């Protein structure tokens, strides 16, 4: 019985004040933990990071060019899906596939005609991670699914960050998207569920959100805050890594 309501979180209407408070608290906490500026929207979506492989090029590079860094299995999938979006020109400007993705490749200068540079910050299968954000004159899009909230990143250096929740945030079924406001609404006529503007205008409630997953995410955010925030978690992670 959540807050004496007689209902569990899974029974609450997502339109109710009780759940709105959960949503507001979750957003407030993640903004605090990652120091997310006011000109970024925080979206609680569905479909996993895999859906973002499509949503990102559809919203940010429809009819234009996007550049990618290929550092492993998930980057390859992101590239493959972007190529399926009609009208999007996809260019891979750096890759470590030549040595079985055993290193992070040097990223060359990105041409100004690209709409964004896509990177994957942690490659769980291959065991590599990108801690230093590359310099680029275009917005950087990052798939942080497997290391979000485990290392400190400066959100201001990114145009968009996305992460499936099931690694570090909460149950499967929730996807966190942090997107700079000027990148929203660039393309008209997208399917509503795949349109960042529709999702942002409806505060992630265009359809019923994954209420229980958002509630658990809020609890995890509270726990991370108690551990000293993301910096505290990173320090613990480096201490564990040093043992190896």
Q: Where are the domains of the chain?
A: 39-212
Mean pLDDT of the chain: 96
**Is 154 tagged catalytic?**
no
Q: Give me the numbers of helices (H) and strands (E) for the chain, helices first please.
A: 6, 9
> pLDDT-derived band of residue 237, with 50, 70 and 90 as boundaries?
very high
Query: What does the DSSP 8-state code read for residue 186?
Result: -
Question: Quick one: pLDDT at residue 60?
Answer: 97
> pLDDT-derived band of residue 234, with 50, 70 and 90 as boundaries?
very high
- The string of pLDDT tens digits covering residues 121-161 is 999 899 999 999 999 999 999 999 999 999 999 999 999 99
Query: What does the DSSP 8-state code read for residue 16?
Result: S
**Distance between CA atoms of residues 240 and 244, nearest Å:** 7
**Is 74 tagged catalytic?**
yes
Q: Which of 41, 74, 195, 218 is catalytic?
A: 74
Average pLDDT over residues 233-243: 95
Measure the CA angle with vertex 60, ends 55 and 65; round to 5°: 115
pLDDT more than 90, % of the chain: 97
- The string of pLDDT tens digits covering residues 156-215 is 999 999 999 999 999 999 999 999 999 999 999 999 999 999 999 999 999 999 999 999
Q: Which of 143, 154, 157, 182 is catalytic?
A: 143
CATH number, domain 39-212: 3.40.640.10
**Distance between CA atoms of residues 120 and 104, nearest Å:** 10
* Radius of gyration, CA atoms only, the chain: 18
* Three-class secondary structure of residue 175 per DSSP: strand
**Distance between CA atoms of residues 171 and 190, nearest Å:** 28
**Is 98 tagged catalytic?**
no
Torsional sign, CA 11, 15, 18, 24: positive
Q: Which of 84, 113, 167, 195 is catalytic?
A: 167
Contact (CB, 8 A) for 236 and 99:
no
């Amino acid at each position: 019985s959540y807050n004496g309501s007689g209902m569990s979180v899974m029974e609450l209407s997502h339109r109710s004040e009780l759940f709105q408070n959960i949503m507001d608290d979750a957003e407030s906490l993640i903004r605090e933990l990652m120091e997310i500026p006011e000109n970024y929207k925080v979206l609680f979506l569905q479909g996993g990071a895999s859906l973002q492989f499509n949503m990102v090029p559809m919203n940010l590079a429809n009819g234009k060019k996007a550049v990618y860094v290929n550092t492993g299995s998930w980057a390859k999938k992101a590239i493959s899906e972007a190529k399926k979006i009609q009208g999007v020109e996809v260019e891979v400007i750096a890759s470590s596939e030549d040595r079985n993705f055993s290193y992070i490749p040097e990223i060359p200068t990105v041409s100004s005609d690209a709409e964004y540079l896509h990177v994957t910050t942690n490659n769980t299968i291959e065991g590599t991670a990108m801690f230093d954000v590359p310099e680029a004159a275009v917005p950087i899009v990052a798939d942080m699914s497997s290391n979000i909230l485990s290392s400190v990143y400066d959100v201001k250096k990114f145009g968009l960050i996305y992460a499936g929740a099931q690694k570090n945030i909460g149950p499967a079924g929730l996807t966190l998207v942090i997107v700079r406001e000027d990148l929203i609404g660039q393309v008209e006529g997208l399917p509503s569920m795949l349109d960042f503007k529709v999702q942002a205008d409806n505060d992630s409630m265009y359809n019923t959100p994954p209420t229980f997953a958002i509630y658990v995410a809020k609890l995890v955010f509270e726990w991370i805050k108690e551990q000293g925030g993301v910096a505290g978690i990173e320090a613990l992670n480096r201490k564990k890594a040093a043992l190896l």
